[in-house]
Amino acid sequence: MSVSSALYNTFFKRNSVFVGTVFAGAFAFGVGFDIGVTKFYDAWNKGKQWKDIRHKYVTEE
């Protein structure tokens, strides 16, 4: 109860704060979502991407 009322008083009471929180949250969510999806993609395709097999073919001079 106190958590929800604190949440309400902090974020939801003023519309400007609410909208600002929504946009900031959207930015953070977008960045986090990109990172998460990229990590999942790399883990799913482990050993198939060029960055994983590059050391087999490219020899540094």
Where does this chain bind other proteins (CB under 8 A)? 1, 3-5, 7-8, 11-12, 18-19, 21-23, 25-27, 29-30, 33
Least distance in Å: CB of 30 to other proteins? 4
End-to-end C-alpha distance for the chain, whole angstroms: 65
In the complex, minimum distance from the CB of residue 34 to other proteins, in angstroms, rounded to a whole number: 9
Report d(CA 45, CA 47) in Å as an integer: 6
Nearer to other proteins (CB atom), residue 30 or residue 42: 30
Say which amino acid occupies 61: E
Instruction: Supply the minimum distance, in Å, between the C-beta of residue 7 and other proteins.
Output: 5
What angle is formed at CA 45 by the lines to CA 41 and CA 46, rounded to 5 degrees? 115
